[in-house]
Amino acid sequence: MIRIIFIVTIAAILSVFSGISLAEGKNPSRLRVALLPDENASTLIQNAQPLKAYLEETLGKRIEIIVTTDYSSMIEAMRFGRIEVAYFGPFSYVLAKSRAPGIEPFAVGIEGGSPTYHSVLIAGVDSPVRTLEDIRGRSFGFGDQASTSSHLAPRAHILSHAGLDGDSDYRPVHLGTHDAVARAVQAGQIPAGALSKAIYDVLVERGTIDADRLVELELTAPIPNYPIVMQGDLNADLKADIRNAFLNMEDEAVLRAFRVEGFAATDDSAYDILRETASVLNLDLGRM
Q: Say what the pLDDT of residue 23 is.
A: 52
For the structural domain made of 26-114+224-287, what CATH number should be given?
3.40.190.10
Specify whether the CB–CB gap between 61 and 31 falls below 8 A: yes
- Residue 184: other Cβ atoms inside 10 A: 19
Q: Which helix (H) or strand (E) holds 219?
A: strand 214-219
Angle (deg, nearest 10), helices 49-59 and 236-247: 130
Judged by DSSP in three states, 190 sits in coil
Digit-coded pLDDT (tens) for 218-247: 999 999 999 999 999 999 999 999 999 999
Digit-coded pLDDT (tens) for 30-72: 999 999 898 888 999 999 999 999 999 999 999 999 999 999 9
Q: Say what the pLDDT of residue 286 is.
A: 66
Domain 26-114+224-287 shares a fold with domain 119-221: yes
Instruction: Map out the domains of the chain as residue ranges.
Output: 26-114+224-287, 119-221
Q: What is the mean pLDDT of each run of 10 residues along the chain (288 residues)?
A: 45 45 80 91 92 97 96 95 96 95 97 92 98 98 94 96 96 96 98 96 96 97 95 98 98 90 96 91 75
Q: Say what the pLDDT of residue 2 is.
A: 46
Q: Say what the pLDDT of residue 223 is.
A: 93
Write the single-letter amino acid at 210.
D
- Exposure pattern of 145-157 as b/e (b: 16+ CB <10 Å)? bbbbbbbbbbbbb
- pTM comes to 0.79
Write the DSSP string, 24-92. Answer: H-B--SEEEEEE--SS-HHHHHHHTHHHHHHHHHHH-SEEEEEE-SSHHHHHHHHHTTS-SEEE--HHH
Q: What is the CA radius of gyration of the chain?
A: 22
Q: Say what the pLDDT of residue 247 is.
A: 98
Q: Say what the pLDDT of residue 287 is.
A: 67
User: Which residues are CB-contacts of 136 (< 8 A; sequence separation ≥ 6)?
Assistant: 162, 164, 169, 170
Specify whether the CB–CB gap between 87 and 250 falls below 8 A: no
Cα 286 to Cα 48: distance, rounded to the nearest angstrom: 31
| Domain covering 119-221, topology | D-Maltodextrin-Binding Protein; domain 2 (3.40.190)
Q: Say what the pLDDT of residue 112 is.
A: 85
Specify whether the CB–CB gap between 96 and 116 falls below 8 A: no
